[in-house]
Chains A and B, each alone.
Chain A
Amino acid sequence: MDDLISEFLTETAESLDVIDSELVRFENNPDDRAILDNIFRLLHTVKGTCGFLGLPRLEAVAHAGETLLGKFRDGELKVTPPMVTLVLESIDQIKVLLAALENTGVEPAGDDKTLIKRLEDAAMGVAQEPTEPEAPAEPEVPEGFDADLGRELRPGEVSLADLEAAFQNTEVEGIEPAAAEVAPEPEATSPLGVGDFDPELGREIRPGEVSTAELEAAFASAEPDPGMAPPSIITEDMSAEEALQTAVAELSGNYATAGSEGGPRVQQTVRVGVDVLEALMTTVSELVLTRNQLMQTVRGIEDDEIKGPLQRLSAVTGELQDGVMKTRMQPIGDAWRKLPRIVRDVSNEVGKKIELLMDGNETELDRQVLELIKDPLTHMVRNSADHGLEMPEDRVKAGKPEKGTIKLSAYHEGGHIIISIADDGKGLDTKRIADKAIEKGLTTSDEVARMTEQQIHRFIFAPGFSTAAKVTNLSGRGVGMDVVRTNIEQIGGVVDVSSTAGRGTHFSIKIPLTLAIVSALIIGCQDQRFAIPQLAVRELVRVGAGSEHSVETLNEARVMRLRDRLMPIVDLHEVLGVGDRLNTEETAAFVVVLDAGGRNVGLVVDNVLDTEEIVVKPLSESLRGVQAYSGATILGDGSVIMILDPNGLAGEIISTMDDEATTEAAAATVSEVQETQRLLLVRAGGEEPKAVPLSLVTRLEEFDPATIERTNDRDVVQYRGRLMPIVPMGAQVQCTEGQRQPILVFSENHTSIGLAVDEIVDVVEERVDLQMGSDRQGVIGSAIIKGRATDVVDIAWYLDQSRAGDVQRRTSQRRRRLLLVDADAFTRRMIAPLLAAAGYDVTPAGGVHEVQRIAEAEEQFDALVGDPAALDRIRSQGYWPDLPTIAVTDWPEDTQAEGLTAVLPRSDRSALIATLDEVSQEEKAA
């Protein structure tokens, strides 16, 4: 019986979860018969099984819920949220009872009269108090005292009154119209109660038993639709076990039906204990290691007698590993199943309208990982529903649809699973987070001023940080996103947030598919090897002798410039105390760029050796105090190596590094501009490619070389009724007779020049990491574009060349001074010479930090040019309050022009110069 009960518990728990989510679906689609039928069948089976196993209390609740559902099905009652809440309440109560059953093996004493009464009233159409949540199953005083017995109930006993009530309720069964249609007409006898004589049994029915006739009726009615699977009838000569199996089979049938209708997908399954799988996994892991060792040993031996079988062994082991891994995989939908219910409850409780979209249900991941992310996910979805989304009226005011959306999605990406939780709510309150972070001493207001919004938002992951101004029942009980982050990091995952005020918040989680075997980078440090989980590795950079990257020192702390951002550098030798820090000026070394809690940290190592799939073994208890490690592993050659923990290392870094350095690093990333540039690749005077920012080129033309004339020692062509000077790019451009000559046309202030090139190669979109250091005229510097070192052409120099004979502009005027602020170094280097060519003295500044320095030096300017965000920050700092400010941006239409003199597209040079001239004129007049 015990086995039966436990099997019943498992099956029922699954059915109830399905019912939960199906009910929520049903509430949104009250006309969908298929959903309702499914719910009805599931609940009915639960009820039926309860009857068999002699669980009257459960049965009574299930029955009452079912009756109400029956009314929906027959169209006698309209589906309303309070009604659904009521049915959900009955499901909850069943869960409570099941939990008690699981703990004690018997149904708890007491009854559920209040709940049943409400369910019955609802079924009868009696008006309901609008969802006043009552404590279900209020225990009556004295609890368990049975008037019929004249004594208190012993555990496991059920009061006679309860039984009567249960069987009375069961009566409804017999007159169920749907059942009556399909099932053989039940005998007109009323169902038998306890103490009644059952002719089929040949004796009276004992408490807890159900008459066979009634059972038949129950199971017949479980299959009301003739189109469904053939009804499984449980007959009196079946043992209880057989009966249960039939019931279970029926349940599976329901699953299958649900699957075909887009509900949860269930395949043919065998139940296997988790411990069995775990043991199997461990054994297979060992097998994999042994295989690896064997392979290593025979490497280099050319013996076909060994090689053949060994290769087969290797392949079979691989297959076995894959197979075992698969047994551990579960669709993420399993972790999501409870969410629709949770979202529904939140939306009812706080009066919001919420739609939960789920995408990628079938994405599979390791069972263990799934268990560990269930709670964080639930918490985050609840947060989004409770805090993220606004009240309907606020949404309407903000011009958004009344119904808020939470979108969950999951997909695989290179051995990881990416889960995102996005809402279209109000977004994070940057100011409040900043205030709170300052209040909690996590940062200072100076630092906050230099941070990007995203950096501020990340404070929500800081320990003990909870922004909910009002503590609600649902979330904000002090356990906040820091717990979520800790949980996710524990399984080697990372979580990040991005949020736009008024548009919503987006959390993304990246976790490994499995914990048992991870892909790791094997690095060398002082004759020793260490493993770093690949998930944490962002990139590898070679530094030192002969490399373009170098490690610089900033007041003892070491930093490295990577794509124009400063990254703190830590030397593994130092962290582990194995020798001195590497002298990276002389020795070549590698920097492993690690993702440590959302920020980049560079780890200096001697060597990068290999990548290997490793089996993670837990740390010995004697080593748990060492932060730097997350575990150990045995490599293919049998040696044991330690697995480094990026987060632990970051912890070490903070303690070993000057705070100043981290601040600098944060300041350097101030606006995180990493935009891509569209570049025109050309070939001119040599094989190597040259690049010109496409935004500067007005037009691409081809001319017949014959049309190129020579006047006043210069090549010109007639172009749109004017003479356009032609300047060759590079040393000399060969004009081949009969072949058309490609020309890049640049126009500025009604004058155009043409740059002659040999060939136009390509247009690419890349992030330009400009390596400075060109003394050559006409070249700004070099960058790696499409994997090749490419010269970036200095257009301004050519413009000057072409104007050599022109009347010098503005010679009589004082040269005007401009401050050019743009976080993107490439933009600065492109625009500055152009403006200089137009007669301005340009001081470039990369970030607020530099601006601050310039301002403190009390330098004076005539105008400020830069990206809108930077200008905004300068103004908020109160520097140069009266100067004209001209914003250049790629998205002028999205930019708030308020407080700015002009907003211009970045690509429109002539407009910029015209505007500057205009501004200067005004100034002059003033």
Chain B
Amino acid sequence: MSNDSSELGTEEINEYVSVRIGDQLFGAPVNAIREVFTPQSVTSVPRSPSEVAGLLNLRGRIVTAIDARTRLGLPQRSADETGMALGVERGSEIFGLIVDSVGEVLRRPRAELEPVPAHVDANWRSMVTGVHRLEKELLAVLDVSAVIGSTAGHEAA
């Protein structure tokens, strides 16, 4: 982005992979993302928790695909949209967080990160750590681990 505050030290800069889920722009911290890939031939798993979109083969490793829309309580994508996946490694497992599209990497000063407004839905607040005000819209910063992590807890509950 052109409005990079290059005079600021790198210490104070947050880097985000910008992703779009539904109408909202989200930012996933770069260091939380292993890679970005196109989810192909996802095997759906009957009886799995609803947010588990299925399993897929990423270079010989089995990746559990988690649908970000389901987690955020947004309506389902239409069948012809495959979306993109953010690969997230946790423990010995890889998860793929399925989003609608992936954009460029955004660098924003840490100081500009604002807390999530209190009246935002509690489910969202548990997965969004803060908000950056961009020129045209808001960038909601995703807590990637929370988006994926709560699935296990979700299931148990």
Which residues of A from 605 to 663 have beta carbons under 8 Å from B? 617, 620-626, 628-629, 632, 634, 638-642
Question: Is the beta-carbon distance between A576 and B60 smaller than 8 angstroms?
Answer: no
CB-CB under 8 A for A621 and B60, given A578-B46, A640-B43 = no
The 8 A CB mask of B24-47 against A (1 = contact, 0 = none) is: 000000000000000001011111
The 8 A CB mask of B63-102 against A (1 = contact, 0 = none) is: 0101000000000000000000000000101010000000
CB-CB under 8 A for A576 and B41, given A632-B55, A640-B56 = no
Question: Is the beta-carbon distance between A290 and B60 smaller than 8 angstroms?
Answer: yes
Question: Is the beta-carbon distance between B43 and A576 smaller than 8 angstroms?
Answer: no
Q: Does A577 touch B at the CB level, under 8 Å?
A: yes
Question: Is the beta-carbon distance between B57 and A621 smaller than 8 angstroms?
Answer: no
CB-CB under 8 A for A623 and B43, given A290-B60, A638-B57 = no
Most buried by B among A290, A528, A622, A626: A622
Question: Is the beta-carbon distance between A528 and B60 smaller than 8 angstroms?
Answer: no
Size of the chain B interface, CB-CB below 8 angstroms: 25
Interface stretch of the complex, out of B104-112, B125-133, B148-156: B148-156
Question: Is the beta-carbon distance between B152 and A634 smaller than 8 angstroms?
Answer: no
Q: Of all chain B residues, which has the CB nearest A620?
A: B64
Q: Does B52 touch A at the CB level, under 8 Å?
A: yes
Question: Is the beta-carbon distance between B60 and A634 smaller than 8 angstroms?
Answer: yes
Question: Is the beta-carbon distance between B43 and A626 smaller than 8 angstroms?
Answer: no
Question: Is the beta-carbon distance between A622 and B64 smaller than 8 angstroms?
Answer: yes
Q: Does A289 touch B at the CB level, under 8 Å?
A: yes
Say whether chain A's binding surface is mostly helix, strand, loop, or mixed: mixed
Q: Does B138 touch A at the CB level, under 8 Å?
A: no
CB-CB under 8 A for A639 and B43, given A622-B64, A625-B156 = yes
CB < 8 Å neighbour of A286 from B45, B47, B55, B60: B60
Docked Cα-Cα span, A911 to B153, in Å, equals 72
Q: Of all chain B residues, which has the CB nearest A615?
A: B60
Question: Is the beta-carbon distance between B46 and A576 smaller than 8 angstroms?
Answer: yes
CB < 8 Å neighbour of A576 from B47, B49, B66, B155: B47
Q: Does B48 touch A at the CB level, under 8 Å?
A: yes
CB < 8 Å neighbour of B62 from A528, A578, A632: A632
The smallest C-beta distance from A530 to any residue of chain B, in angstroms, reads 9
Most buried by A among B41, B49, B57: B57
Docked Cα-Cα span, A678 to B96, in Å, equals 62
CB-CB under 8 A for A528 and B47, given A622-B64, A640-B57 = no
CB-CB under 8 A for A620 and B155, given A290-B60, A632-B55, A640-B56 = no
Interface size class of A (residues with CB under 8 A): 20 to 34
Question: Is the beta-carbon distance between B55 and A622 smaller than 8 angstroms?
Answer: no
Q: Of all chain B residues, which has the CB nearest A623?
A: B48
Docked Cα-Cα span, A528 to B45, in Å, equals 9
Find chain B residues with CB under 8 A from A642 CB. Answer: 43, 45, 55
Docked Cα-Cα span, A639 to B54, in Å, equals 12
Which residues of B from 136 to 157 have beta carbons under 8 Å from A? 151-152, 155-156
Question: Is the beta-carbon distance between B49 and A640 smaller than 8 angstroms?
Answer: no
**Contact residues of A with B, CB < 8 Å?**
286, 289-290, 528, 576-578, 617, 620-626, 628-629, 632, 634, 638-642
Please give 12 more A-B residue pairs, beta carbons under 8 A apart, in addition to A620-B52, A621-B151: A576-B47, A577-B46, A620-B95, A622-B152, A622-B155, A624-B152, A628-B47, A632-B55, A634-B57, A638-B57, A640-B54, A640-B56
> What are 17 A-B contacts defined by CB distance under 8 Å?
A576-B46, A576-B47, A620-B52, A621-B152, A622-B49, A622-B66, A622-B95, A625-B49, A625-B155, A629-B45, A634-B57, A634-B62, A638-B41, A638-B57, A640-B54, A640-B55, A640-B62
